[in-house]
Structure 1
Amino acid sequence: MGGVLRIHFSDRDFRHVQLARSADPVWEAFLGLHVLTTSLARLPRRLHPWRRRAVRRLRDADLRAASRLLRDLAPADAAYFPDFLTPAESEEGMAAALHTLRATPGTRLARELREAARYRTLPGWTRRLASGDRALLDQVADAVLHFHTRLIAPDWSEVEATVATDWERRMETLEGGMGAMLETLAPFAWRDPVLTAPYPVDADLHLKGRGVRLIPSFFCHTTPIAIADPSLPPVVVYPVRSEPPAPGTRHADVLAALLGTGRARVLSALTVTFTTGSVAVRLGMPASTVSGHLKVLRDAGLVHSERDGAHIMHRLTSRGRHLLRPP
């Protein structure tokens, strides 16, 4: 990791910054693939449960084949992988994204695979893809869908809720202006008018008045990722900050005195979105007790709860996150 990504803003760009409020299904599929090929020791703890579940699901031969095909095109350690794999239409959902991916012009396939070959040796089968083999391109699209359906979609409610929480935090910082929001985008550093972050290679993204679409990602866990082709709409994917700073011992004591020990523990456990049962398991408390504490916290405006299918998901509100923050 010897490079730096530099994103150059002009005054006009500030008017066209978009902060995605929902997770992107295609980016999450590829970044989930990267999590899957990264050792547990190098992952943040919040991703450990998903990786363990995903490894068990990979016993399926078709899923392993899909993963291998995608890993050939977009390995976790790649300094570059083709932009056609993550079309801007994924903003509209997986179906729109795959429709665009399947329709990628042959000239673009050849150009971007040639660019990828500058950084690493590509498998032999990619020569057929670069020559415009539509059946092979369909296989790539099918692999993205299969990987997402089997490994990402089962945990999509947690992905979406975590991204939504991140979005709320960024919106709060906008009270101080766009620069204040950009300063919160770790691992980026904001030095007006340039946003910088560690990157596999040295790269400059000149926005040229187009602005940029910033996409928070559940599975992104190291450096941000930017669309490489300067002719495409600028897109930057960055890792969510899913956990508020853990309260220190003294602050935890103050919270316990204010809320009661049980409710303070439940509040502090909601570092990401959880069901009642998962909070109970995490804290070793009866689910009925956790449910009672959550009701009190919800009534106080510290926790938000909403139904997602068969489950009710709980997450901190901005007031709850503020209360957890040490003074």
Structure 2
Amino acid sequence: MTADPLLVRFWGTRGVVPVASTAREVRAKIANALVVARGASIASFEDAARFIDEELDFAATATYGGATSCVEIESGDDAFFVCDMGSGLQQFGREAMGLCRRGRPAKFNVFLSHMHWDHIMGFPSFLPAQDDASTIIIHSCHPDAEDALRRQQDEIFSAVPFEAMAATISFVAVRPGEEIEVDGLRVTAMQQDHPHGSFGYRFGDAAGRSVVYSTDSEHRIDDMAREDAFTAFFREADLVICDTMYSLAASNMAKEDRGHSSNLVAIDLCREAGARRLALFHHDPFHDDEAIQRMHEDSIRYEKLTRGGFPLDVLCAYDGLEILL
């Protein structure tokens, strides 16, 4: 029997705080598109869509989004798998409830990297948590995970207490380095360098495909033994979702000890590991679409300049991106 393909959906790709495009930024995109389209023959929606696809780049017509970290890994039509519960969890929850009403089992396996607010803030508004037909299993390497989720819904912060959630909610402690099997996927966690600790996860299916989710992780050139461990963790992964919040210069200077990494370090690690595809992730909230696109373009150039063997496919994650493995 052939295993179902893995489909990775990005519901939130920002770090620290959610952001939204301003009216001025949207207006600028429209004005730029009109200038570029001057003289073009556009008589229908189809003509306009074709012009956008052929003549304009991503940042000129779309947005990388503003929701904080939330990534879904779909391995079939049974249980849901979700990495982190940032503000992107809200939109995921709405879509998931629609699927559950049409017959998909309302079971949610959540894997938390850490407890910082941008990674848990979506849970109070997560619709499946308000449905008594839902089962939510929260996997974490942090012993204080349940306490953190309960505290963010204390009356001083939230109108909805944790106890009011109607779903069946349970917590599972995960030990770093110990492989577990969860509804058909093999999962292993790895400790990362981040304030209060952060953990990456590697997911593997029966067909040998693998996805690594590694956000909020700082990499240090003075600790190469640690980097060798990451190389092993990323080894031949089909997709590595990696924290690339800063440029290399920023991560080594003003942003040191913040617990984040750079695009160039992520490329080096993935190449050393023989990974096939890298998704730049956890975008800086101070970066607009143009700045994120420039980082993506710089990353592609760096990958080509330093390539020694087979190419590494470097993608830039955005809210709504889907990757089929």
Provide TM-score, normalisation by structure 1: 0.25
Which structure shows the higher helix fraction? Answer: 1
Larger radius of gyration: 1
Which structure shows the higher strand fraction? Answer: 2
